[in-house]
Amino acid sequence: MKNLDDILAMAQNVQNELQKAQANLDTIEVEGASGGGLVKVKASAKGRIIGISIDDSLMQVSEKQMLEDLLAAAINDARGKADTASNAEMSKMTSGLPLPPGFKLPI
């Protein structure tokens, strides 16, 4: 029965490490940008939007549609970078675990 106890202890350890890694993701910041940097979105690696910066030149009624498009593009850019940062952090955490090839943790 020692083998089963070892497996349960390892599972508990993995769960604890996952919780730590998830908490750490909210401390990692990424920045998405669009329009050559006219619109910037800061987000955590967990995907939480922290802030948005808009260049003053876009603050005109005639530029509304372009501003909306640039905001969407910057948010998508930040989201992609957040996903990349999250995957990198989680792969660091799981690199020492004896998981089967191709196994993905539910995160």
Question: Which is more confident, 75 or 95?
Answer: 75
Give the pair of three-digit tokens for residue 8.
């349960």
- The CATH code of the domain at 2-94 is 3.30.1310.10
What pLDDT, in 10s, does the model give residues 41-59?
999 988 889 999 999 998 9
3-class DSSP assignment, residue 50: strand
3-class DSSP assignment, residue 107: coil
CA distance 11 to 76: 35
For the chain, what are the domain ranges?
A: 2-94
| pLDDT at 16 (0 to 100) | 83
